[in-house]
């Protein structure tokens, strides 16, 4: 006859509270702290290193940041384990339950006292957060403006620094000059793009501040206020759409080969008949015309010569 034993939850709880698990959690927490500090150190050294490809450096920094986040959350999980194990008495658990119930009732009471516009019978299609919590939206956009202004300022400084380093005549290593050249090219795109996006955020922040002032003056949100501020709401949401237009224009204008292609397509669009005739013609012995960023012709035979000639021309500047 088989004897059936019931595995109660107490057995599993005893495994969780075992000495082995406790020691392993302590060791993992120490390892998490070490990993966080070592990854931060690695990021600081990766930022200062020079002879490394930019894509590789970006990938390593991204992985390091991901590992930092992973170890931080694992450390939080271990801390939660120690915190829950400390709650072994009935009194401590009862106090936590009472506090949780009081907080839940307080939030429900605050929500019942507030008459929001979505409780009405009429449905309004709008961005609710800008009306219910305009201070949060204003804080987010204000922080975004500050961050992008700071980022743009730093990008401008980095542009002039890399350009100055690239034009220095005492740099004799081609790899270093190549890296500075790549940095200058990247920042040439990055500075105007971040400036345009920062300006769009500034406009949005002013519009949200205008809405915030009206909501505070009215003492709350109602149907009439939402209707009056509808255009302002649409305007601050449309700033990113406007930025997209400038984004495309900046990318095209800053890259000379792409700009020439766009002009060529525009001319074909202006004269459809000649365009159709051009496409119907046989395309024998056509060569691909590659252009540098400055508009110089690059072919397969002189591709390396053109690029390194540009570096050589700046060698003595």
Is 180 in the same domain as 120? yes
Is 90 in the same domain as 130? no
Residue 298 lies inside a defined structural domain of this protein = no
What is the tens place of the pLDDT at every residue in 194-211?
888 889 889 989 999 998
Q: Are 225 and 132 in contact (CB under 8 A)?
A: no
pLDDT for residue 76 is more than 70? yes
The total number of structural domains in the chain stands at 2
Is 179 in the same domain as 150? yes
- Comparing CA positions, the residue from 215, 227, 213, 210 lying closest to residue 120 is 227
Is 248 in the same domain as 138? yes
What is the tens place of the pLDDT at every residue in 247-258?
877 877 776 766
DSSP letter for 220, please. Answer: S
Is 47 in the same domain as 141? no
Is 119 in the same domain as 242? yes
CA atoms within 13 A on the CB side of 298: 16
Helical (H) or strand (E) element with 144: helix 134-166
Residue 40 lies inside a defined structural domain of this protein = yes
Cα–Cα distance measured from residue 287 to residue 152, given in angstroms and rounded to the nearest whole number:
41
Torsion-angle region of residue 195: left (phi > 0), alpha (psi -120 to 50) or beta?
alpha
Cα–Cα distance measured from residue 204 to residue 199, given in angstroms and rounded to the nearest whole number:
9
Cα–Cα distance measured from residue 60 to residue 66, given in angstroms and rounded to the nearest whole number:
10
Q: Are strands 297-298 and 290-291 parallel, antiparallel or unpaired?
A: antiparallel
Is 156 in the same domain as 239? yes
Cα–Cα distance measured from residue 140 to residue 134, given in angstroms and rounded to the nearest whole number:
10
Is 78 in the same domain as 208? no
Residue 4 lies inside a defined structural domain of this protein = no
Is 150 in the same domain as 235? yes
Is 80 in the same domain as 131? no
Provide the whole-model pTM: 0.48
pLDDT for residue 273 is more than 70? no
Residue 41 lies inside a defined structural domain of this protein = yes
Cα–Cα distance measured from residue 255 to residue 146, given in angstroms and rounded to the nearest whole number:
29
Q: Which of 254, 269, 286 is the last residue of a domain?
A: 254
Is 134 in the same domain as 231? yes
What is the tens place of the pLDDT at every residue in 6-33?
444 444 445 556 677 677 778 888 888 8
Q: Which of 238, 254, 270 is the last residue of a domain?
A: 254
Cα–Cα distance measured from residue 211 to residue 131, given in angstroms and rounded to the nearest whole number:
8
pLDDT for residue 188 is more than 50? yes
Cα–Cα distance measured from residue 49 to residue 69, given in angstroms and rounded to the nearest whole number:
23
Residue 3 lies inside a defined structural domain of this protein = no
Is 159 in the same domain as 238? yes
By residue range, what is the domain housing residue 175?
Answer: 114-254
Helical (H) or strand (E) element with 16: helix 9-16
pLDDT for residue 149 is more than 50? yes
Residue 279 lies inside a defined structural domain of this protein = no
pLDDT tier for residue 50 given thresholds of 50, 70 and 90: low
Q: Which of 239, 254, 269 is the last residue of a domain?
A: 254
Residue 236 lies inside a defined structural domain of this protein = yes
At residue 8, the pLDDT reads: 45
At residue 224, the pLDDT reads: 77
At residue 6, the pLDDT reads: 44
Residue 9 lies inside a defined structural domain of this protein = no
At residue 206, the pLDDT reads: 92
């Amino acid at each position: 006859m088989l004897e059936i034993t019931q595995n109660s939850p107490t057995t599993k709880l005893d495994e969780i509270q075992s000495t082995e698990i406790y020691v392993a959690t302590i060791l993992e927490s120490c390892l998490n702290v070490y990993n966080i500090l070592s990854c931060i150190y690695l990021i600081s050294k990766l930022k200062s290193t020079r002879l490394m490809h930019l894509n590789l450096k970006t990938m390593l920094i991204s992985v390091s940041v991901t590992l930092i986040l992973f170890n931080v959350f694992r450390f939080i999980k271990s801390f939660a384990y120690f915190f829950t194990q400390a709650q072994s008495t009935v009194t401590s658990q009862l106090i936590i339950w009472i506090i949780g119930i009081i907080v839940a009732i307080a939030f429900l009471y605050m929500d019942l006292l507030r008459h929001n516009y979505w409780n009405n019978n009429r449905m309004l299609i709008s961005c609710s957060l800008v009306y219910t919590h305009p201070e949060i939206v204003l804080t987010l956009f204000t922080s975004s403006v500050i961050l992008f202004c700071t980022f743009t300022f730093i990008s401008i400084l980095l542009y002039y620094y890399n350009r100055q380093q690239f034009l220095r005549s005492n740099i004799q290593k081609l790899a270093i000059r190549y890296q500075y050249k790549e940095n200058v090219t990247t920042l040439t795109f990055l500075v105007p793009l971040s400036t345009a996006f920062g300006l769009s955020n500034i406009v949005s922040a002013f519009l949200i501040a205008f809405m915030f002032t009206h909501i505070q003056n009215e003492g709350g949100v109602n149907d009439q206020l939402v209707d009056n501020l509808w255009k302002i709401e649409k305007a601050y949401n449309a700033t990113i759409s406007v930025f997209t237009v400038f984004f495309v224009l900046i990318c095209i204008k800053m890259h000379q080969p792409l700009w020439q292609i766009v002009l060529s397509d525009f001319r074909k669009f202006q004269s459809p008949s000649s365009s159709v005739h051009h496409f119907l013609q046989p395309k024998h012995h056509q060569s691909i015309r590659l252009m540098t960023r400055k508009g110089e012709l690059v072919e397969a035979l002189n591709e390396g010569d053109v690029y390194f000639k540009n570096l050589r021309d700046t060698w003595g500047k």
